Chains A and B, each alone.
Chain A
């Protein structure tokens, strides 16, 4: 095992251990400071990874650094996934800390758990062996079982926790069984050997069945129809910062794994999985967009919206072209920023409360111009209004679908884009034109303003200057497909 490949993972693990020990043995230190220190450290690690990654990145794009007998891979996609995990964790940690009450006993533990999920995704981004995939995926999932139910005095949060637990455990069981079947077909759990068997002219039936079961399990992580049933309920019931984390990190982890698994391990079985992904994309688009129409809770709406976005991204996966897969990475970038904005504002306006009625957002424009503006940009990007990131992302997906010859899916996607536009605009309309329910002014601290300003600028910049992001995504995917 080449330890030096694991530098960033070990840094996060050390941070986790340090946090736990200090909290245990130095109870006098206020928990908020401890949590803030952790954020600063994580930011430092992120900066370090981005810095060195950008420097050594070229080499990583070209060649692959493999450790642990082909179990752990450090390539462009892995690096990208790690950075995604860092940013998602940072946004979620900041959002979660804003609402930690003074008497919050579990602040440090929650930060610890968020770091653990981040670590899980970092490993997942590098995993090219099903054993590591399984353990890392479970790490992410178990953290979310806890986080979703972590408002334990709130019936809705606990209910969401139970639903997520049973549904998630069943899905991971199904996925695990799929891995067992793949092992049966190939005699190995590594991606490389799997790829060798999958490239046969007629892959064994066991392998096919195994792949199907794994796709079903991944469908849960991605919230892709017809495996998405948990999403609206859990999104609504979970504490808002957790919902934000769920929408970004959990989905990002799923997509990174999906992209690597389908291109590297099952690249030879394109004809087999292509229709499955296509059907999942189409159904996600329909369920996500149509289901959101008559929602009254913004958080639940975001649940449906997340299903729809999964549909858009699966469109890119189904296109099986570099343009499509690169588009998925670009899409995720924009999606992360916009979601961080939207959920950040939701945290500011009504804390962690589960129900966030759209009505409550009426007159937000008058209560705080700043928050309303941030929410506006986030929602507009999600709905795909030019020139924001969401627009370019959708455009790339449409183009990939068009070039892939998937006219029916393209039609569904266009329909979904129009329909979902309706519900995003509905929120915006409430925000600026509705009769306010709450009228008290909102005071937003400068730090939050700074963060939201940076996020909004990011959404605009990624949309307006897609060049660098797009080139990077394309390079990553090309390197992946070239192997």
Chain B
């Protein structure tokens, strides 16, 4: 019952707002935020009761021949931890949004979408099998699309929304095929039943045949496709930076704390299953590492405060994925949790800065905000230190755990992780220096005033959590230590050498950053000293351009071919050639539809003749 409430309350809120309250924005926002807070409290209660929550009623959703898909909420430790993150951060961000979206024209719509998102995200967390997860996975994608394009009158926003949806769809199709493979190989898509099966064939000592192994590997990679799309891993990462066109609370909730982490959550959920296919885990680890390093490098050269944070999110997600890939799901989930706190904090603080500066996003037009926005500054500082992994804050503990696993498993990836750690400290220092230090570099920055309390309160709570979440008395750290699903996970040893390296690197990064950006001018110091490197990084290694070019030139090539076809086949063959050739530039298949009935009849009879000759073997 409790679980159903947690799942369905946001849906009810969405329905109520969508149906009745679209013209009453104030009431709508209250309903939505109230629901979010209630959900968080209920979730805490449910977690308090832990596994003793009465089993929720089974809702049988689909029966297709031998396949049966039930909607049974999953309520193990993993789901509990993730529920906590989603509902708690969600509630705080809802409260924050009350202030942030105060005067927006589409306030009611915004809160309706937020409720829809909360519903679908909670659905992913509680999903007990692949199909249900996929359904909510798509719903999350939809609500993310709606929220990115929320300000659709901004030209970039609609485009960004479409890009996000298309890239996600690409990943989702891989995911879907993967699910189909799971279905046809194991005849079930239920996580628990799959878990039992996995046990059986590992302990039973059945040697897998090579063929089965390669099928399993393909299956694992396809499932990972979905993760790569949702969690913005290389090479499907291009949508996340653009997604920052959405309102800042959305960036904080969806594109930093929860939705993008859904990929990592899914990896952990099916970890028992992946643990069987070590090759796939290796691929996952390397993709994660590459993403982490790539994104950290890009973050160094961004000028937009939200884009810096977006790349940082991508980089941290890369670390988590790498953690899972190296066989450490528990550290990855730990990092996911702490990251949700401090990244949400950073985004909300950035939002606070943006409100104070009337939506000026370029960091080189800020500066000197330390004195003007003291609370925001302190919160941002806490988030920044936690993210950089300064010892004693939550980020340090979680990152340390992942990298310890890396140290034990793969020294190269440990090196990558250390480099990422250094770069993180470096670009966050750069950000701090540009935004808060020095003098104000624009009119807006000069007149900034602290934001209202309703926005500051969530900042403070999140700041406290960012500092403290790493300590074991809060329980987060050890929440999954003895989680049965992770039984086959690697146990990281503790190496003093690695510990000291990890403790030292953030300070080195901060020091380097401070040296380079101590006296900020209007321009980026890196751009002056190493212009080539800066261009490379600012262009994000030209991934978007590469994709654009691929699409454009692919089309160009196709068009050339079509032109040729048009000129020589259609035109020369004279089906009302001239007028056609000008109209047929679009694409090959449209060319056939010339509008000339006789041409159609000729195609029809040619098809008929070919069919007859082919099937009756008359050639």
Contact = CB atoms under 8 A, between A and B. Distances in A.
A and B touch in the complex (CB under 8 A): yes
Contact of B600 (A208, A230, A414): A230
Contact of A233 (B162, B595, B604): B595
Interface stretch (B62-70, B195-203, B242-250): B62-70
Given A170-B604, A229-B600, A294-B586, A209 B616 contact: yes
Nearest to A211: B615
A467 interface: yes
A395 B603 CA distance: 32
Contacts of A392: 62
Nearest to B141: A385
Contacts of B590: 291, 294
Contacts of A220: 604
A470 interface: yes
B611 A290 contact: no
Contact of B65 (A293, A323, A425): A323
Interface stretch (B165-173, B377-385, B427-435): B165-173
B183 A399 contact: yes
A406 to B, nearest CB: 13
A403 B162 CA distance: 33
A66 B116 CA distance: 53
B158 A429 contact: yes
Nearest to B585: A294
B451 interface: no
Contacts of B593: 229, 232-233, 291
A291 B600 CA distance: 15
A422 B166 contact: yes
B549 interface: no
Given A163-B600, A293-B587, A208 B166 contact: no
A474 B165 contact: no
Given A290-B588, A425-B162, A385 B142 contact: yes
A166 B601 contact: yes
Given A167-B604, A227-B604, A399-B180, A386 B63 contact: no
A64 interface: no
A227 B586 contact: no
Interface residues of A, number: 57
A370 B49 CA distance: 44
Interface in A439-469: 464-467
B303 interface: no
A386 B138 contact: yes
A385 B139 CA distance: 9
A42 B511 CA distance: 82
Nearest to A232: B593
Interface in B527-548: none
B589 A226 contact: no
A396 interface: yes
Contact of A398 (B60, B180, B607): B180
Interface in B562-619: 586-590, 592-593, 595, 597, 599-601, 603-604, 607-608, 611-612, 615-616
Contact of A429 (B134, B162, B607): B162
A293 B597 CA distance: 22
A287 B615 contact: no
A171 B597 CA distance: 13
B64 A466 contact: yes
B84 interface: no
A419 B593 CA distance: 19
Contacts of A170: 601, 604
Contacts of A396: 64
Contacts of A287: 589, 592
B177 interface: yes
Nearest to B22: A369
Given A163-B597, A414-B177, A425 B64 contact: no
Nearest to B62: A466
A323 B597 CA distance: 38
Contact of B616 (A162, A205, A275, A403): A205
A387 B135 contact: yes
Contacts of A276: 611, 615
Contact of A208 (B64, B149, B599, B616): B616
A166 B597 contact: yes
Nearest to B145: A425
B103 interface: no
A212 B169 contact: no
Contact of A167 (B63, B601, B615): B601
Contact of B607 (A216, A275, A471): A216
Contacts of B616: 205, 208-209, 212
Interface string A212-254: 1101100010000011011011000000000000000000000
A174 interface: yes
Interface in B45-84: 60-65
Nearest to A226: B607
Interface of A: 162-163, 166-167, 170-171, 174, 205, 208-209, 212-213, 215-216, 220, 226-227, 229-230, 232-233, 272, 275-276, 286-287, 290-291, 293-294, 323, 385-387, 392, 395-396, 398-399, 402-403, 414, 417-418, 421-422, 425, 429, 432-433, 464-467, 470-471, 474
What 7 A-B pairs are tightest by C-beta distance, nearest first? Answer: A229-B600, A226-B607, A433-B152, A291-B589, A386-B135, A294-B586, A290-B589
Given A212-B608, A232-B593, 6 more contacts: A205-B616, A229-B593, A229-B600, A230-B600, A290-B587, A464-B61
6 contacts: A166-B597, A205-B616, A216-B611, A229-B593, A229-B600, A398-B176
